Amino acid sequence: MSKKCLEVKFLTKRFGGLTALDEISLHVNEAEIVGLIGPNGSGKTTLFNCITGFLKPDNGKIFLRGINITSKSPHEIIQEGVSRSFQITRVFPELTVMKNMLISICHKNESRIKSIYKKSNRDEIKKASELLEFVGISELSDEPGGELSYGQQKLLTLASSLMQDPSVVLLDEPTAGVNPTLINKIMDRIMEANEEFDTTFFIIEHNMDIIMSISTRMYALATGKIIVEGDPGKVRSNPKVLEAYLGGE
């Protein structure tokens, strides 16, 4: 039986009179790729923000490998093993690609500012170089992050998210705004990381064909509730999913 890596139990988040998440319960097993879909405003990014500590839920709990991380800070959650990307890429434009990789390493009791100026050790540089090679942008390691194309920045973000051997990687729209060639490259690297390194992924993605082609299981959200969970075929054919998308939100 597969072991749960990430588990969310009865998670609720309200903004004033709006219930963004309504008693959400889900799990991601170790070495799975789990997709999360839903129309705009369904609560997907709010869920990611709660898991990573950027928002505090009103009720419910979040567990990482059995450890309760619900009340921890974003910095502490990173240290526990949750890595996360954002829909809009967040690179340091003035820093080189290599430096962007190295500051993604979260050292205990060290701020992000300190990590910018800290001298990295040989093993960290070697690992960063290998991951840049893995995603196919090693030749850009000395270029400023801001000079990369948007798709290349997405690849950099993916590589950075793997720097600490995370327990789970949360990706928010990894293919949004990316040309088709690089979309395929990003998806290939995700599947390769999953197969070769047993990396666990939990992915928000609007492109239904892409997320259904790589996911082990999927969840569909609408109006802050899970409307269906299962394999991609089950989710694709579910009338509630079709209604949520065709009906809009």
Label residue 62 exposed, middle or buried (CB < 10 Å: 0-12, 13-18, 19+): buried
Each domain of the chain, given as residue ranges in start order, spans 4-247
pLDDT score recorded for residue 116: 47
Series of mean pLDDT values for 10-residue runs along the chain (249 residues): 91 96 97 95 95 97 97 93 85 94 70 52 92 96 95 94 93 90 92 94 92 95 95 90 67
First to last CA, the chain: 37
How far apart (Å, rounded) are the C-alpha atoms in residues 39 and 128? 36
- Residues 183, 245, 23, CA angle at the centre, nearest 5°? 100
pLDDT score, position 181: 86
As a CATH number, domain 4-247 is: 3.40.50.300
Per-residue confidence (pLDDT) for residue 29, from 0 to 100: 97
Residue 227 confidence (pLDDT): 94
Q: What is the pLDDT of residue 119?
A: 58
